[in-house]
Every structure is written in structure tokens, then in C-alpha cells.
Amino acid sequence: MEMKNLFKAEKGLIRVKLDIDKNIIKAASITGDFFIIPEQNINVLEDSLKGIEFNKEGVEKAVDKFYEAGSITPFVTRDDFIVSIMGAKNDENKTD
């Protein structure tokens, strides 16, 4: 099942697409108009989400791994990523 969310952070939009099967994240795509230094570290976050149970604890660990890899995200916080990813669960936040 594909789940999506569009989240407006202080200075940027975060678009999340998740492929979820039996509450396990099979694939993740995170895009938007935010900055990540180094840019390729978005792959660390997407890869960290794969295979985890879709719950707040699992998402928090994946986001922490992303920051532990040395990622810098000006104007977008750890909590912005957690909220945007978890928001994919809510029907009212789904986008096309």
C-alpha cells in the first residue's frame, strides 16, 4: 500500500512516499525543497526506513541514524522529518 504525505517545515516542503506491507516499510522516497548536506545522505534516511515497522519508535531510530551519518539540514529539524514520515498514516494528509 502506498502512503504519502506533504509536510510544510519552517523553510521547506518535505514529500514522503512509503510503500508499506503488513505495517513494514518496503520502500521510502523523501523529496522536497529542503537542503541536506551532504546531499546524497537522503539515501541514508530512505535506506534506514526500509524494513522497519511503521511506528514512531522505528521512524525515530531511522531519522537518528540519518543525523548520526553527519547530515546537516538547515531550517528542517529532526522532528520535521519524524512528523512528515509519520504523517503518511493519516488519510487527510495524502497527496497525489
Find the domain containing 56 and state its range: 2-93
Q: How many domains does the chain have?
A: 1
Q: What is the CATH number of the domain that holds 24?
A: 3.30.390.50
Q: Express each pLDDT in 23-65 by its tens digit.
A: 999 999 999 999 999 999 999 999 999 999 999 999 999 999 9
92: alpha, beta or left, given left = phi > 0 and alpha = psi -120 to 50? alpha
pTM of the predicted model as reported, rounded to 2 decimal places: 0.89
